Amino acid sequence: MAHRVLLFLAPAAAAALTACAGAETSNRPLPAWFVERQAELNSEGYPDLANVPDRIDANTRQPYWDGVTAELDAAAAAMRANPRSGAPADAAAQAAEAETFDAEARQALEATRSQH
């Protein structure tokens, strides 16, 4: 994995440094460290894309996915077993409170509408 990252970063860094060098508009000399790094990156060249291995990282084994399903089912069961995840103890009172709020909001809306 690290090798792939380096294969990607080296040309990207070379391109960025080249762009910076091309953007130089004054006659000031470039810093020595920059010139050295630019020469180093230019000597590496581009990676040969024909040598990149065809590798599939996806896990397609059914036993693996059966295990994932079991873990998710266990997590769902634990969540449902939590007392805070169930319906409130006084659902009827909450429903009545919501209806009262709705009625009051509608009255306030109608009162405002009638004033204009």
Give the model confidence (pLDDT) of 32-67 as tens digits.
Answer: 999 999 888 888 777 777 877 777 777 778 999 999
On whether residue 57 sits in a domain, the answer given is yes
Nearest Cα residue to 44 out of 2, 1, 15: 15
User: Is 114 among the domain residues?
Assistant: no
The reply to whether 88 falls in a domain is no
Range of the domain at 71: 2-81
pTM over 0.85: no
Establish if 66 belongs to a structural domain. yes
Using DSSP, how many helices (H) and how many strands (E) does the chain show? Answer: 4, 0
The reply to whether 102 falls in a domain is no
Helices (H), the chain: 2-22, 32-44, 62-81, 91-115
pLDDT category at 17 given cuts 50, 70, 90 is low
In a domain, 64, yes or no: yes
Average pLDDT, rounded, for the chain: 80
In this prediction, residue 107 has a pLDDT band, given cuts at 50, 70 and 90, of: very high
Domains in the chain, number: 1
Rounded distance, CA 28 to CA 36, Å? 16
**Residue range 88-95: average pLDDT?**
76
